[in-house]
Structure 1
Amino acid sequence: MEQNGNRTEFLENVRRALGRTAPAAEVEVPDATALSNDRDVADRRVEAIGQDIDSRADELIEELVVSAEAAGWIVRRADSSDAAAYIRQVAETLESTSVLRSDHAVLDEIGLEAALEGTAIGLQRITHDESGPSRDVQRAKFREDMIVADIGVTGVSHAIAETGSVSIAAGRGVSRLISLLPPVHIAVVRRDQIVPSLDELFSLRRSEFLENGSLDYTNIISGPSRSADIEQTLIKGMHGPREVHMVILE
């Protein structure tokens, strides 16, 4: 109550400062937006999104390919057997010796470890060992490994067809640094993870929040890292990967 009272008082002060005497009209938030606090509404919205994704899967893949390439991704469409072979090809072409992977299950499903066996490419899985040193010690070691790694490979939480982006929600075995520190990032996307736009992504995340009461941070990645100086000279890789690959599983 005290928080609501402080908010009301603050808004009243702002209105007076602007010379407005009448209180602002109440704004009704549409139920279909990601701002709804109603669990039933959020659940129905998630169900509708799932049905839409299922019915338009091929269309969304085509849209994602176009928008992702426009955003600077190198896009590869592959089945599960080809995906790991493509990752190996990228690593060999770049003469990489150190590849880090997240704990996303999709990387197990495509057989990434098996694809890199017998090569000079070292593959390290970033996941905490409960029987090992403290989490802080392990986290510091992982950070050191990420700084010197050649490639970071991750799954994704979702891909956004409209913007050519992927989202990665943090969690156990999923550190945002795997997609940020190595100079090359490879993201593996399942077809059922592709949503039409950011509206659907935020609705899905809102539903998770209402169910769990909290959310971990989410990264949204839209192509390689790009920075421009005052002379508008574009530089890739200044604050993240200079090269990004999106592998879409069909």
Structure 2
Amino acid sequence: MSARDDILSNIRRSLGVSGTEAMRRQTVADRLAASPRGVVPQRGQGEPAAQRALFKQMAEAAQASLSEIASYADVPQAVAEYLRANNLPATLKMGDDPRLTDLAWSATALEVSRGRSHGDDLNAVSHAFAGVAESGTLIMASGPDNPTTLNFLPDNHIVVVAAKDIAGDYESVWTRLREHFGKGLMPRTVNMITGPSRSADIEQTLLLGAHGPRRLHIILVGS
């Protein structure tokens, strides 16, 4: 018996069940099929403009920085300006997301490379699947387009998100994920990122970059 089987066996024994009960199995199947929504906080509800304003407020409260641009054509210049304003090297790692790779990076002085990070990249840019207004959180779906390593290994992470993809609550984003990838199919990893990495474990002193990027900059595209 594997460790997993041993743990599940102990749980079933403590509950006094075998795991084969038809009613219990049907209850689980019905819930998976219906994907019921949980309790949705009121805070993130409202018109799209209000949701975007709340997203910006909550993201900045979590110590992320944010800039707004009109179109994707402005992304390369916005990234270059952010790096220059923070005295950061003009280097950038990105995945294969066509929303980023098809842009005119050659019009900037940035040295752009593609692929996952091996831990030696200072700056990375990714595209978020969505943003959550109620908490200022970015939803990142893993894959070659946006490797998960870019979320955690570079010191400075720039994330592009479309204004139309800002949702009021997490439940709405899970619905979109199921619609986009197909019910029962998900990317290997869905990361929820709220602000730069931080820890206050030692003497309650806040340390940025403890487990990931010390800077998170969000570029909100469109209106």
TM-score (norm 1): 0.68
- Alpha-carbon distance in 2 for matches of 1:152, 1:180: 10
Displacement of 1:76 in angstroms is: 0.6
Q: Does 1:125 align with 2:97?
A: no
Distance 1:84 1:12, change over 3 A: closer
Q: Percent identity, aligned pairs only?
A: 23
Q: Helix, strand or coil for the counterpart of 2:32?
A: coil
Displacement of 1:171 in angstroms is: 1.4
Aligned residue identity for 2:150: I
Question: CA contact under 8 A between 1:164 and 1:222: conserved in structure 2?
Answer: yes
Displacement of 1:199 in angstroms is: 1.7
Distance 1:236 1:214, change over 3 A: closer
- Alpha-carbon distance in 2 for matches of 1:244, 1:154: 11
User: Over aligned residues, Cα RMSD in angstroms?
Assistant: 3.4
Aligned to 1:152: 124
Q: Does 1:37 align with 2:35?
A: no
Aligned to 1:188: 160
Aligned to 1:75: 66
Displacement of 1:209 in angstroms is: 6.5
Question: CA contact under 8 A between 1:159 and 1:165: conserved in structure 2?
Answer: yes
TM-score (norm 2): 0.75
Q: Does 1:161 align with 2:133?
A: yes
Aligned residue identity for 1:189: V
Distance 1:192 1:181, change over 3 A: same
Higher helix share: 1
Displacement of 1:112 in angstroms is: 4.7
Q: Helix, strand or coil for the counterpart of 1:77?
A: strand
Aligned to 2:93: 100
Aligned to 2:82: 90
Distance 1:95 1:56, change over 3 A: same
Counterparts of 1:2-17 in structure 2, within 5 Å, are 13-15=13-15
Displacement of 1:229 in angstroms is: 2.8
Question: CA contact under 8 A between 1:190 and 1:249: conserved in structure 2?
Answer: yes
Question: CA contact under 8 A between 2:178 and 2:185: conserved in structure 1?
Answer: no
Counterparts of 1:23-62 in structure 2, within 5 Å, are 36-38=31-33, 56-62=47-53
Displacement of 1:213 in angstroms is: 4.1
Aligned residue identity for 2:217: H
1:46-76 CA-to-partner distances (Å, cap 9, x unmatched) read xxxxxxx9x9322221111111111111011
- Alpha-carbon distance in 2 for matches of 1:98, 1:220: 25
Distance 1:209 1:104, change over 3 A: closer
Aligned to 2:169: 197
Displacement of 1:240 in angstroms is: 0.6
Q: Structure 1: 5+ residue runs without aligned partners?
A: 1-5, 17-24, 30-34, 46-52, 127-141
Q: Helix, strand or coil for the counterpart of 1:72?
A: coil
Question: CA contact under 8 A between 1:76 and 1:247: conserved in structure 2?
Answer: yes
Equivalenced residue count is 201
Q: Structure 1 stretches (4+) deviating beyond 4 angstroms?
A: 8-12, 206-210
Q: Helix, strand or coil for the counterpart of 2:146?
A: coil
Question: CA contact under 8 A between 1:106 and 1:188: conserved in structure 2?
Answer: no
- Alpha-carbon distance in 2 for matches of 1:123, 1:191: 25
1:132-162 CA-to-partner distances (Å, cap 9, x unmatched) read xxxxxxxxxx443xx2222110101111111
Displacement of 1:103 in angstroms is: 1.9
Q: Structure 2: 5+ residue runs without aligned partners?
A: 1-5, 17-22, 38-43
